[in-house]
């Protein structure tokens, strides 16, 4: 589970409220954070957050939640988003390597030492929690003023492009050499293993910004003098790269920076403008939420609960239904049941009524009960039941049955313990025949 150290003085500035350490230790648990450690002398608290809440990967994200908990601000936070003119063109060659990219521009950056550390931490946490160690999402942060738009995201042969990588020895290397010799190249070469071409981002002068998901170019190194940033997020899952961009962008917005959109042009004239802070709308029945939470809240009370956890909610035209909007930096809301948790959090877990449930006796599931009856009938008719393993092997599945190998439906085990069990079964008959034998 990822952890984050919070400086209380800085958190007070972000929340806009004087915070008592003991009270804060108590309050943090009610917004889904676990307390790891406290240091009263240095006024720091170390917390652990669930990976399904990557927006908690920065003090800014946690402060957002606390402002709702303390009712300083209710509902979805507002972030100003300026429409930019920068364009990034996506070449079709990246389709089979790393097909998705989203971008953003951050202007008038003025980061102090703590905020620079936060920026590094949030990248590290997003690479782990959302990016699956850069395989699914990789983040690049660049000094915008050192390169010239429009940008180009394409794929090239490993030995066809050379540039000076960040944290290298100061001399140009081609992509193949980076994977063999550079520290980050060695660490992340596995992601590009077996690929004939590698993804790369150029500017208008063919200068290299980044070799995702491995390393940025030294040219765009961010320093304490950097005032404008260019963000690139590449990956294999569009929803994941978009979520990571929104989390990173809103965090920088909370630091006082101005966020500007970038137009990403895909083949076929498909343009995507990112970041996009538009919330997602859901409709949820109030009876469902009350029944799961064990409450009898009115629609007005329920709306207040959602506002406290930084969601927007209104009465729907449909009777007994709420319209709920989820902010763009939240990726953990996937089903109506998730809103029961949000409502309970806004209501206060400590305020939920205590109930004692009847014990009851265990019994078969109706399907299992029906299966047992059928089983007895079949045995009574003289049949034998064969309970075989789901795992099998390709020789038994195809050669013994005089069948051609079905590559389409065959699922092979990567590191089988035994040759006897190196695939999943494709059909039941081979294992049944093996039982008879």
Can you give the residue ranges of every domain in the chain? 3-69, 81-274, 280-351, 366-436
pLDDT, position 408: 84
The span from the CA of 1 to the CA of 407, in Å, is 38
pLDDT, position 359: 73
Q: Give percent above pLDDT 90 in the chain.
A: 81
Q: Residue length, the chain?
A: 437
Average pLDDT over residues 293-322: 97
134-143, 227-236, 410-419: least confident range = 410-419
Q: Is the dihedral of CA 145, 150, 154, 156 positive or negative?
A: negative
Q: Which pLDDT band holds residue 323 (cuts at 50, 70, 90)?
A: very high
Average pLDDT over residues 420-430: 90
Is the pLDDT assigned to residue 356 strictly greater than 80?
Answer: no
How would CATH label the architecture of 3-69? 2-Layer Sandwich (3.30)
What radius of gyration do the chain's Cα atoms show? 27
Q: Structure pTM?
A: 0.82
Q: Which pLDDT band holds residue 62 (cuts at 50, 70, 90)?
A: very high
The span from the CA of 339 to the CA of 314, in Å, is 14
The class of domain 81-274 in CATH terms is alpha beta
Q: Is the dihedral of CA 163, 166, 169, 174 positive or negative?
A: negative
Tokens of 112: 């102090």
In degrees, to the nearest 5, what angle opens at C-alpha 351 toward C-alphas 347 and 352? Answer: 85
The span from the CA of 61 to the CA of 81, in Å, is 18
Do 3-69 and 81-274 agree at the fold level?
no
The span from the CA of 339 to the CA of 350, in Å, is 18
| Residue 183 contacts residue 191 (beta carbons within 8 Å) | no
pLDDT, position 122: 94
Average pLDDT over residues 203-215: 97
CATH code, residues 280-351: 3.30.56.10
At 74-105, the pLDDT tens digits run 999 999 999 999 999 999 999 999 999 999 99
Phi, psi of 184 (to 5 degrees): -70, -35
The span from the CA of 331 to the CA of 246, in Å, is 10
Report the SS3 class of residue 197.
coil
């Amino acid at each position: 589970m990822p952890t984050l150290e919070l400086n209380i003085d800085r958190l007070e500035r972000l929340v806009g409220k004087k915070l008592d350490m003991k009270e804060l230790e108590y309050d943090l648990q009610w917004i889904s954070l676990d307390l790891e450690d406290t240091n009263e002398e240095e006024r720091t608290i170390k917390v652990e957050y669930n990976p399904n809440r990557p927006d908690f990967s920065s003090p800014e994200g946690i402060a957002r939640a606390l402002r709702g908990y303390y009712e300083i601000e209710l509902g979805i936070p507002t972030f100003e988003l300026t429409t930019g003119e920068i364009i990034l063109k996506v070449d079709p060659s990246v389709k089979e390597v790393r097909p998705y990219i989203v971008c953003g521009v951050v202007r008038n950056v003025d980061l102090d030492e703590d905020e620079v550390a936060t920026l590094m931490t949030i990248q590290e946490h997003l690479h782990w929690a959302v990016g699956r160690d850069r395989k699914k999402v990789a983040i690049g942060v660049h000094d915008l003023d050192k390169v010239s738009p429009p940008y180009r995201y394409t794929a090239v042969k490993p030995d066809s492009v050379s540039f000076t990588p960040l944290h290298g020895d100061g001399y140009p290397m081609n992509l193949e050499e980076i994977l063999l010799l550079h520290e980050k190249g060695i660490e992340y070469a596995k992601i590009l293993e077996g690929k004939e071409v590698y993804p790369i981002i150029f500017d208008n002068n063919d200068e290299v910004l980044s070799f995702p998901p491995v390393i940025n170019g030294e040219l765009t190194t961010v320093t304490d003098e950097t005032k404008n940033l260019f963000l690139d997020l590449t990956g294999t899952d569009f929803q994941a790269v978009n979520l990571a961009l929104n989390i990173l962008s809103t965090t920088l917005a909370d630091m006082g920076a101005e966020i500007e959109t970038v137009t990403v042009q895909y083949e076929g004239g498909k343009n995507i403008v990112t970041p996009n802070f538009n919330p997602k709308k859901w409709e949820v029945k109030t009876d469902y939420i009350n029944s799961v939470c064990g409450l009898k809240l009115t629609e007005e009370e329920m709306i207040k609960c959602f506002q406290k956890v930084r969601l927007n909610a209104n009465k729907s035209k449909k009777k007994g239904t709420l319209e709920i909007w989820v902010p763009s930096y939240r990726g953990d809301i996937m089903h109506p049941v998730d809103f029961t948790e949000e409502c309970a959090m806004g209501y206060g877990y400590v305020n939920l009524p205590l109930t004692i449930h009847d014990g009851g006796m265990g019994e078969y599931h109706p399907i299992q009960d029906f299966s047992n009856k059928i089983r007895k009938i079949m045995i009574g008719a003289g049949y034998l039941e064969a309970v075989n393993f789901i795992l099998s092997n390709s020789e038994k599945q195809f050669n013994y049955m005089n069948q051609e190998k079905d590559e389409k439906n065959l699922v092979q085990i990567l590191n089988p313990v035994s040759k006897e069990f190196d695939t999943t079964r494709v059909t039941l008959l081979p294992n049944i025949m093996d039982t008879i034998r």
